[in-house]
Amino acid sequence: GAGVSQSPSNKVTEKGKDVELRCDPISGHTALYWYRQSLGQGLEFLIYFQGNSAPDKSGLPSDRFSAERTGGSVSTLTIQRTQQEDSAVYLCASNNRGSEQYFGPGTRLTVT
């Protein structure tokens, strides 16, 4: 597609449920990033995939968070047993080496 797309655009879930957020990067981009934007924490890095290398998971806030990238393209961020503090906008970005990161519109997650 023309840009990074994310789905769903909005997600409301009950505390304790699992959620999956999807990111479709720009075709051909080798790197994919997940960030989180929340009122209390600002914009935080979560995880980074680069080609076939092991992902950089250093930003994941707890073991309830995981992400995978299948076939070097689409990525899914999974949050298990959601908590209210997980409420945030989850942003995905992609790029190739040496180019800017292009951001998707984000998924707004609300945990009630």
Q: In the complex, which residues of this chain contact other proteins (CB under 8 A)? A: 31, 33, 35, 42-45, 48, 50, 56, 59, 91, 93, 95-101, 103-106
**Residue 15, both tokens:** 């505390």
Write the DSSP symbol of residue 14: -
Quick one: the chain helix, strand, coil %, rounded to 5?
A: 5, 50, 45
Report the nearest approach of other proteins to the CB of residue 68 (Å). 18
Q: Measuring CA to CA, which residue among 85, 91, 90 is closest to residue 112?
A: 85
| Nearest CB to other proteins, comparing residues 82 and 91 | 91
| Nearest CB to other proteins, comparing residues 62 and 96 | 96
| Nearest CB to other proteins, comparing residues 63 and 97 | 97
